[in-house]
Amino acid sequence: MQSINDKKTGDVMRRILILCLLIAVGTAHGSEGYRLERVEPANWWVGMKYNQVELLVYGQGISDLHPSIHYPGVSIQQVARVENANYLFVTLNIAANAKPGKFFIHFSNESDEKIVWEYYLLAREKGSAERQGFSPKDMIYLITPDRFANGNSRNDSLPELAEKADRMDKNGRHGGDIAGMIQHLDYLAGLGVTQIWPNPLTENNQPSYSYHGYATTNLYQIDARYGSNEDFKTFVTKARAKGIGVIKDIVVNHIGSEHWWMKDLPSRDWLNYPDQYRETNHRRTVIQDPYAAPEDKALFVDGWFVPTMPDLNQRNPHLARYLIQNSIWWVEYAGLSGIREDTYGYADEKFLSDWAKAIMDEYPNFNIVGEEWSSNPAVVAHWLRGKQNPSGHLPYMPSMMDFPIHEALRIALEEQEGWDTGLVKLYETLANDFIYPDPFNLVIFPENHDTSRIYSYLHDDIDLFKSAMIYMATMRGIPQLYYGSEVLLSSPRHRDDGAIRSDMPGGWSGDKKNAFTGKGLTNAERDAQDFIRTLFRWRKSADVIHHGKLQHFAPQDGTYVYFRYLDNRAVMVAINKNKQEKTLDLKRFNALLADKQFARDVISGKAVDIKVPLVLSSKQSLVIELK
């Protein structure tokens, strides 16, 4: 049996050994001057289907070194060297019987000089693989974090990050952060929100115009002006406790020009056009176009978005694995319920399939929505799981942003009614749903961070605004609301990003108007907020909207009627775009109304008599619950 003194001596020696190992991490060893600076991802989990993890190892001259591991269930499957001697790509094989724990990766040369790096295998959260992604039951609330709420003013400007806060600059950083989002979770839950989609929170250490988040400079790090990785994880946990999931905005097409890679690329083919800036042609149709010139297709995929966003070459296998692992890492680390993928069609087509498949294989009930900004349903449908494409492309994406409906809704409500104008545009766009494998899983929205505010687009017409919100809440698909819509945030009718993404009233100390408390709101803003709250709190438990079928009737005289129905229940939506009162003869809808005994106006709560013609007042839209 070990004596007390022996035990103390042993403890001291162990501490000294651990201290020496920690000092060794990232420190040069021996006369060769090796220096290990990064290993990404910094950890992985046991019990993952994705159990062969390729580590990107970066440091001065480390390609000369040979890694080794001595930990039960973990072995090195492959070591790859690239043209830059400062990189190694080390593939770990994590066996099914591997246990959570800490181990050390030893990097040594022929002279047995060593660098030691600490690595962690973690246990997964219970039920992680079976997590439920966002679905038609949800309402997604889109937030531009820098513009929502400043919960911690101490992180507004930081010495290690280039751009400082300047709330007077509409294109600058304003100071919104994760703490601000956490502080207002009760408000969002009360509004009927069940999913939050923040614009990217990863580090954007660009010299200017960095607040939007789409020019990432570190894919594994939350921007410190928003908080830390742990703060983001806490946000997800606290949101979940309120019944709200979190969708992470991820970009696989490009990075920011100040990304640490740009100072020392792993290889020349890490980027497209690494030597000379060439801008994408934005011709989204070239991917499916049977007649497209190869040069046009190549420029669309390989061209840069803007000079500050270098275009990634996902045909490089190491980069492809890096991006796939990064997405899975964030889902597992933070406990996400979804991913929104930016500029979806701009990345390599085969990679996009591999990326989505890897995530959905790991989380079969998960959901991912891609941004394919096209008004052509055929272009959007090309990327959806289950779509049989003539080109042979096999997609795995469960959802896409429904830009065809988005554009049709705005045009239909703003355009003058005619034989082929106005509401018929919306009707005929919806008729294209046969082209989608699952149109009910598309994300529908009247506005987002890249479009003018819907209230402003509709010339500040509150009735048409309400019609847009009713359509979004009751149509097939998953509705997405942009922050501040509920209090009529406005913008120019043309695109003006800084104005579109204006500050949420009440998100900053001293604001005269406060959307969260109601202080200083006009009567119109209060009314809009109450309307949105009533509509989406009702939707939250409206099974017929979540799972019901859809039938719509061709627009007549500036009115449009459709039904959602399930078993013996139905919801009737009637939209009147006219400036004058309209009377609907309900006999036209007898097949869906005949057996219904109960009817209630969802917004007012009043009973509706469906045995007589329905009178719609000027520009009124109704949601009528039927049983």
The set of catalytic residues is: 342, 371
Distance between CA atoms of residues 415 and 409, nearest Å: 10
Contacts with 48 (C-beta within 8 Å, 6 or more apart), sequence order: 94, 124, 328, 332, 362
DSSP string, 169-181: -TTSB----HHHH
HEC string for 318-379: HHHHHHHHHHHHHHHHHCCCEEEECCHHHCCHHHHHHHHHHHHHHCCCCCEEECCCCCCHHH
Angle between helices 229-241 and 317-334 (to 10 degrees): 50
Contacts with 28 (C-beta within 8 Å, 6 or more apart), sequence order: 34, 35, 60
Do you find a cis peptide bond into 395, omega within 30 degrees of 0? Answer: no
Q: Write down how long the chain is.
A: 627
Instruction: Mark out the alpha helices in 76-184 (DSSP H runs).
Output: 178-183
Rg of the chain's alpha carbons, rounded to an integer? 27
Distance between CA atoms of residues 338 and 518, nearest Å: 31
Distance between CA atoms of residues 124 and 468, nearest Å: 42
Dihedral angle of Cα 491, 495, 498, 503, to the nearest 10 degrees: 30
Residue 186's H or E segment, with its range, is helix 185-191
**Cβ neighbourhood burial of 572 (10 Å; 0-12, 13-18, 19+):** buried
Distance between CA atoms of residues 197 and 245, nearest Å: 9
Decide if 122 contacts 44 (C-beta within 8 A).
yes
Distances 537 to 469, 530, 531, 540 between C-alpha atoms, Å:
13, 10, 10, 5
Angle between helices 317-334 and 349-362 (to 10 degrees): 30
Of 485, 481, 425, the closest CA to residue 456 belongs to 485
Q: Which two tokens stand for residue 472?
A: 């979004």
Q: Which two tokens stand for residue 254?
A: 């490009």
Decide if 259 contacts 216 (C-beta within 8 A).
yes
**Cβ neighbourhood burial of 522 (10 Å; 0-12, 13-18, 19+):** exposed
